[in-house]
Amino acid sequence: MQPRTFRFVLAYEGTGFWGFARQPDRRTIEGTLWQALQPMLPDLRKIVVGGRTDRGVHATGQVISLRTRCPVDSDRLGRCIDHAAPGEIACLHAERTRHGFHAQFWARSRSYTYLHPAERDAPRAGRLERLLQALVGTRDFFAFARDTPKGRSTVRRLEWVRVRSVLHDGRPHLRFDLIGRSFLRHQVRVMVATALREAAAPESSDDALLRLAETHDRTATEPPAPPGHLHLVKIVY
């Protein structure tokens, strides 16, 4: 039988996991999926993820793909994923897709949302949006990344940014929405944390984040904002 390619859209609550990627002696999303799927797919060699998430980060639109020669259908695989960690991982969509589909390399854009609890003296959404809008475009985001593998390019394209004041679980939050083709490790959380710092500084100008990007100095930007408020919302192909 020729290998077949399957595509799945997942949602997960990341609090109880050490990120997506498998790690020895750590509970991860990929490791949990592997344990569930491998008995059904003994020829499974790799689970490809559209947007790798760190420890504690959530997803409402994660995409994975895999290839197998085993005679199974997408619905059965989707149910298997649903049973892997009930209440923590859910399969929102399952399908057999075109040969060669690759959840990572075929992605055209990734959308993230960060929900920051807004205190009474929180910066205004408009001010935060102007700071982040200055970074829209293609540039070196080295200053806003962490733990980048040696030799890996830190040039990325930020496509779109929006910041709004919203109610979440009945409480005021600042909602950061960011879209880009891809993001560096911790990039979104460092950008959010640094924007909050600069927005609270009266002497800071609207191009402050752009000027920080041009320094290529990671010590000039803030540590990543807490991961529990970050969601991978959507991947477009």
Specify the pLDDT at position 1: 72
Q: What average pLDDT score do residues 197-216 get?
A: 95
Determine the Cα–Cα distance for residues 166 and 122; give it in Å rounded to an integer: 13
% of the chain at pLDDT higher than 90: 92
> In the structure, what pLDDT confidence band is assigned to residue 12 with cuts at 50, 70 and 90?
very high
| 222, burial (CB in 10 Å: exposed 0-12, middle 13-18, buried 19+) | middle
Written as six digits, the tokens of 99 are 């040969």
Residue pair 92/84 in contact (Cβ under 8 Å)? The answer is no
What are residue 54's phi and psi, to 5 degrees? -85, 175
Per DSSP (E only), the strands in the chain are 4-12, 48-49, 58-68, 89-97, 109-117, 137-140, 155-168, 171-180, 230-236
Picking from 85, 112, 99, 102, the residue whose alpha carbon sits closest to that of residue 50 is: 102
Catalytic residue annotation: 54
Relative to beta strand 155-168, strand 171-180 is: antiparallel
pLDDT at 29 over 80: yes
Written as six digits, the tokens of 218 are 């990671």
pLDDT at 121 over 90: no
Specify the pLDDT at position 119: 83
pTM of this prediction?
Answer: 0.94
Query: What would the pLDDT profile of 43-102 be if each residue is shown by its tens digit?
Result: 999 999 999 999 999 999 999 999 999 999 999 999 999 999 999 999 999 999 999 999
Residue pair 12/62 in contact (Cβ under 8 Å)? The answer is yes
Specify the pLDDT at position 113: 98
What are residue 49's phi and psi, to 5 degrees? -110, 140
Specify the pLDDT at position 198: 97
Written as six digits, the tokens of 116 are 């920051």
Determine the Cα–Cα distance for residues 53 and 29; give it in Å rounded to an integer: 9
Determine the Cα–Cα distance for residues 111 and 131; give it in Å rounded to an integer: 19
Written as six digits, the tokens of 75 are 């619905």
Determine the Cα–Cα distance for residues 174 and 161; give it in Å rounded to an integer: 13
Of 85-94, 153-162, 200-209, which gets the smallest average pLDDT? 200-209
* DSSP string covering 54-104: -TT-EEEEEEEEEEE-S---HHHHHHHHHTTSTTTEEEEEEEEE-TT--TT
135 alpha-carbon distance from chain centroid: 18
